Structure 1
Amino acid sequence: MFRFALPLAMVGAAAMLSAASPPAQDAPAKPGVDAPELAALGSYPVGVARVEFVQPGQLDPLQGADRPATVDRHLPLSIWYPAAAAGGGTLYRSALPGKNGSDIAFTVPGIASPDARAAAGRFPLVILAHGYSNTPEVLSWLGENLASKGYVVVAPAFRDPPITVRTAAAAAGPIARRPLDIVFVAAEAQRRARAGQGPFATADADRTALIGYSMGGYGVLTAAGAPLDPGLAAATRDVLAPYIAGGPRAGELKVAGLKAVVAIAPPRAVRGADMWAPPGVEAIRAPTLFIVGSQDHTVGYDPGVRTLFDDEVHAARYLLTFREAGHSIGLIGAPPEMRADYWDKDWFEDSVWRKDRLMAIETHFITAFLERYVKGDISRAAYIDGLVPNSNDGIWAGAPPGRYAGYSPGPPAATLWKGFQPNKASGMSFEFKPAS
């Protein structure tokens, strides 16, 4: 959440992987018994690898006195991928900044096995971008789950300054680097996929999707084609000056082979600076799924994420709203190490919604959306097209009485959202608008 609330990891707080055998039910990627249908894990075991990309000669607005320093940009990556055989699981080690700016370490159990042999096949490539001062590990719930369904998921660690440093100078780093990093990582991952290199060998570069939370959402919408506002040049010490709308390198800020975009709680503006120049997200052509809480006071709802949904008129787009939820909808539930202090726990937990419930519902809809638009599985359209907008209005008259755990078949038998159990589709809205 960006307090100016977009979550992200601290400089020097590189997350670690270690082999372990955590109980599978403790891993955030594994949904509970009350999760909607498509949240379930897929048929593949999951592997995880660590790789570092280095982009030489990059301007860093966080370094340098009179002008940004030119440095080699190091980006550690977590890569989740379909594995050939099941392993013993993983215990991720990560950290987020505490209220005094120092790292608070925590662990996250995972279903993935480090450096497991990859499954045979060609799988869509997903770039997964975290928020301000977060780490890839807090998005493991989604990265591991998608890998089990046949995706190669690449999650960079952007190494933002601590969220506690609330200055325009500190914000310049993530604002400048997020879209640049996402485009670079996507291009390099695609290059290695085509060359059959390492954990990218099974990825299909021509079927790429972008997923971003909070500041990562700003990054993926920019990388999908939304032109940067000229005001971001000054806000980033001119690092973005060549890439703003009309700039000489503006055309470079776009990911090739893009089939779909998921933007979870993306900001339209940061510290009063608009993210995009006209036509803004209207320039995006890739199908887009927006996810937001109606009480997200960090990025706003309406105006806010709902405005982006309305404005993206040239792409098929969807809007999943969790009524009364806030900004922390993109992270795992608070690890035990982060539950003793209010600041630490507030990174992760929503004031109204159960976190496991949020993750399960998001996974369900993201799965349906990606399989529909990235894998071309038309059967998944029934899970996202033609739903009654208000989940509370859905009816399944033929459902067995009692605590029935079966999933709604959707129309024509039921208007209860397809894939949801009776009494488990409430407090949400889901809307669709076709490309004009």
Structure 2
Amino acid sequence: MFRFVLPSLLACASCVLVVTPVAAQDAPARPGVDAPELAALGAYPVGVADLEFVQPDQADPLQGKDAPAIVDRHIPLKIWYPAGGTGAGTTYRTALPGEKGVDIPFTVPGLATPGLAPATGRFPLVILAHGYSNTPEVLSWLGENLASKGYVVVTPAFHDPSITIRTTAAAAGPVSRRPLDIAFVAAEAQRRARAGQGLFAAADASRTALIGYSMGGYGVLAAAGASLNPALGLATRGVLTPYVAGGAKANELKVANVKAVVAISPPKALRGTELWAASGMGAIRAPTLFIVGSQDHTVGYDPGVRTLFEQERYAPRYLLTFREAGHSIGLVGAPPEMRTSYWDKDWFEDSVWRKDRLMGIETHFITAFLDRYVKDDASRAAYIDGLVPNSNNGVWSSTPVGRYAGFSPGGSQATLWKGFQPNKAAGMSFEFKPAE
């Protein structure tokens, strides 16, 4: 895109046309100047690689006439990791389904560079799961940011059906496969990490975190141990029957060595069917951070995500609520290619909150949460523990007059949320419940 600067022909008849390029769109992983403190990029350059895992002999409810077809499950992966050297960055190319059922291609600028050698050391392993019909690239805002802070982030591409989730037939695919795929990808990544294979040699399998948005949030909660509703057996043509509460393989979904779980806008129910057993959330033992908008009419708030937060009992859990936000809080901001249609733009943008603001705040809290519970960094506790529940009530009385950009110190000096700038901690709630 170019901006054409036309000098006045009356002032200078001999002037020539000057063409000035517009600055390129910045990578979404780089936070804005008004983002809270821990949203800032970390010390590591970021590398990116594309691989594929194959799980043989898997039931696919979207294939087969009389019973689900048994096929090899191919799962492409995008891996963001701390790199040992710098690079020029990249441009991701991906697509999401448009209103007419045709995929709309678009690009996303990235900080990561393909082919970089990993940094020296062993870094916690993060499995990052996208939502229905999304792709790993739309989660680059979080994957790249976490990699810069010393996490190896493995993001599967689940290849959901292009038909809309509003049909029962389409829903059977992601409902059945999301937990199974996440459990498999996590276990295989951990196996390769322990064996020192390839890029996975940089990952520490004993320190694993699960993060998911929307349908991916459902998947990571199940992979963290939450019990599935037995009704999902019928809803998935029997694919999940062995894995629901009381099933013979129910424990096989639980990922080993999970130190923390982040569920962004996870569903409680889908098309009237409850996804979780009556005490399903009570089976989770890993610290959990729920993130949701209070006006999320896709998965619900209360009942909805708040209900899941309340039902989890035996692990520390947190609930970050963006008041008045909807469901579209987990993807990058709408790229230029997706801004000409309401349907396309609605994938990405919230009706109230700026997307760059949402991403910065989420990254801040996710960083604090993972650093505390996965890296055992006690200094991060002050960013998530003891906060006044309503962000509007925080006070920092010693703030200089004017547009001061410093970060609240929290603690005894300020009740304004630690790491937030004055006038920038508004419209949110942050709640905590300890393990019982």
- The two structures have a TM-score, normalised by structure 1, of 0.94
| Aligned residues of 2:25 and 2:109 also touching (Cα < 8 A) | no
Q: CA deviation at 1:62?
A: 0.5
Report the secondary structure of 1:170's partner residue: helix
Q: CA deviation at 1:165?
A: 5.5
Report the secondary structure of 2:234's partner residue: helix
| Aligned residues of 2:164 and 2:170 also touching (Cα < 8 A) | no
| Aligned residues of 2:30 and 2:141 also touching (Cα < 8 A) | yes
CA distances 1:227-248 after superposition (whole Å, capped 9, x unpaired): 1111000100000011111111
Report the secondary structure of 2:73's partner residue: strand
Report the secondary structure of 1:207's partner residue: strand
| Aligned residues of 1:124 and 1:375 also touching (Cα < 8 A) | yes
2:11 corresponds in structure 1 to none
* Pairing of 1:142-157 with structure 2 (within 5 A): 142-157=142-157
| Aligned residues of 1:221 and 1:263 also touching (Cα < 8 A) | yes
Give the number of the structure whose alpha-carbon radius of gyration is greater: 2
For 2:227 and 2:402, how far apart are their aligned partners in 1?
Answer: 52
CA distances 1:18-66 after superposition (whole Å, capped 9, x unpaired): xxxx978710000010000000000000000000000000000010011
1:95 corresponds in structure 2 to 95
2:329 corresponds in structure 1 to 329
* Pairing of 1:80-229 with structure 2 (within 5 A): 80-164=80-164, 166-229=166-229
| Aligned residues of 1:331 and 1:348 also touching (Cα < 8 A) | yes
After superposition, the Cα gap between the structure-2 partners of 1:295 and 1:71, relative to the gap in structure 1 and judged at 3 Å, is same
Q: CA deviation at 1:209?
A: 0.2
For 1:239 and 1:180, how far apart are their aligned partners in 2?
Answer: 10
1:258 corresponds in structure 2 to 258
After superposition, the Cα gap between the structure-2 partners of 1:23 and 1:137, relative to the gap in structure 1 and judged at 3 Å, is farther
For 1:161 and 1:228, how far apart are their aligned partners in 2?
Answer: 22
1:291 corresponds in structure 2 to 291
Q: CA deviation at 1:162?
A: 2.0
| Aligned residues of 2:365 and 2:383 also touching (Cα < 8 A) | yes
For 2:284 and 2:23, how far apart are their aligned partners in 1?
Answer: 42
One-letter amino acid of the structure 2 residue matched with residue 316 of structure 1: P
Q: CA deviation at 1:279?
A: 1.3
1:405 corresponds in structure 2 to 405
For 2:149 and 2:179, how far apart are their aligned partners in 1?
Answer: 27
1:16 corresponds in structure 2 to none
1:307 corresponds in structure 2 to 307
1:76 corresponds in structure 2 to 76
CA distances 1:80-115 after superposition (whole Å, capped 9, x unpaired): 000001100010000000011111000000000012
Q: CA deviation at 1:278?
A: 2.5
Q: CA deviation at 1:163?
A: 5.0
1:13 corresponds in structure 2 to none
For 1:305 and 1:163, how far apart are their aligned partners in 2?
Answer: 26
Q: Percent identity?
A: 79
| Aligned residues of 2:319 and 2:431 also touching (Cα < 8 A) | yes
For 1:271 and 1:140, how far apart are their aligned partners in 2?
Answer: 29
Q: CA deviation at 1:410?
A: 0.2
| Aligned residues of 2:75 and 2:158 also touching (Cα < 8 A) | yes
2:44 corresponds in structure 1 to 44
Alignment of 1:57 with 2:57, yes or no, is yes
For 2:210 and 2:287, how far apart are their aligned partners in 1?
Answer: 11
For 1:428 and 1:24, how far apart are their aligned partners in 2?
Answer: 31
Report the secondary structure of 1:329's partner residue: coil
For 2:54 and 2:254, how far apart are their aligned partners in 1?
Answer: 19
After superposition, the Cα gap between the structure-2 partners of 1:342 and 1:236, relative to the gap in structure 1 and judged at 3 Å, is same
1:273 corresponds in structure 2 to 273
Q: CA deviation at 1:276?
A: 1.2
Unaligned 5+ segments in structure 1 are 1-21
For 1:393 and 1:165, how far apart are their aligned partners in 2?
Answer: 40
For 1:32 and 1:411, how far apart are their aligned partners in 2?
Answer: 25
One-letter amino acid of the structure 2 residue matched with residue 262 of structure 1: V
CA distances 1:179-201 after superposition (whole Å, capped 9, x unpaired): 00000000000001011111111
Higher relative contact order (CA 8 A, sep 6+): 1
One-letter amino acid of the structure 1 residue matched with residue 43 of structure 2: S
* Pairing of 1:17-36 with structure 2 (within 5 A): 26-36=26-36
For 2:344 and 2:307, how far apart are their aligned partners in 1?
Answer: 31
For 2:110 and 2:252, how far apart are their aligned partners in 1?
Answer: 36
More deviation, 72-81/267-276: 267-276
1:396 corresponds in structure 2 to 396
1:356 corresponds in structure 2 to 356
